[in-house]
Amino acid sequence: MNKNKSLIIIAIVILVGLFFYFDLGRFFTLDALKEHRDSLVAFNATHRVAMVTAFMALYVVQTALSLPGAAILSLAAGAIFGVVMGTVYSNIAATLGATLAFLVTRYLLHDVVMRKFGVRLEKLNKELELRGLNYLLFLRLVPLFPFFLINLAAGLTRLPLRIFVFGTMLGIIPGGFVYCNAGASLANITTLGEVASPRVLGSFALLGLVALLPVIYSNVKGTRA
């Protein structure tokens, strides 16, 4: 491993270590958000650009480093900026952070994985090059797959960057909207589980299956041919 890769790994380990050492996760809780909501809204009213910039930077870092707190940040976006703009800001920031995680993983580990498992992954990579957008939308929409794991796993494949960025930005819109909408009515929420109700999760799963229909159709057609 070259020097640049080693430095990146060290920097990531230090940043993640500092997050847990100083227990910064205590600020990414529903109680903390409710406690500071009024002051955050007031600051946004007088320092709009600074608030948007700080929020998006924080969201990008959180996502890029795969740290906990994404749900709280999405709720905060709705509580501070409103449903529409909160969805826009959180979507852009989450996409940027996911793309950074994707690129760093690809830069650090892709070649190693290809050397060891390239032959076994060849079929998967070809499939992703052809229908990567459908698979990515399915993974983003169906709530069974952790967001950060998709970022990291995708970086180990030959999924094109443009597909990853577009698929991520499009695929996280429904979930982002739901959380921002809930954040706009923050006082009515007592647990995060109330936001992601079984009905909402089922709707996301259905959307994910719709995104996967072209792949299913192609596979069935190929089997019959």
By percentage, how much of the chain surpasses pLDDT 70? 97
pLDDT number for residue 168? 97
Question: How do the domains of the chain map onto residue ranges?
Answer: 3-224
Per-residue pLDDT tens for 127-160? 888 899 999 999 999 878 899 999 999 999 999 9
Q: How many CB atoms are closer than 10 A to CB 166? A: 15
Is the Cβ–Cβ distance between 211 and 134 less than 8 Å? yes
H or E element, residue 50 = helix 48-64
More confident residue, 209 or 50: 50
The pTM assigned to this predicted structure is 0.93
More confident residue, 27 or 194: 27
Close Cβ partners of 24 (under 8 Å, ≥ 6 residues apart): 18
What is the mean pLDDT of the segment spanning 76-96?
97
Mean confidence (pLDDT) of the chain: 91
| DSSP category for residue 145 | S
pLDDT number for residue 221? 67
Residue identified by tokens 């089922």 is 202
At 214, the pLDDT band (50, 70, 90 cuts) reads: confident
- pLDDT score of 102 more than 80: yes
pLDDT number for residue 201? 80
Q: How many CB atoms are closer than 10 A to CB 13? A: 10
Distance of CA 56 to the CA centre of its chain: 13
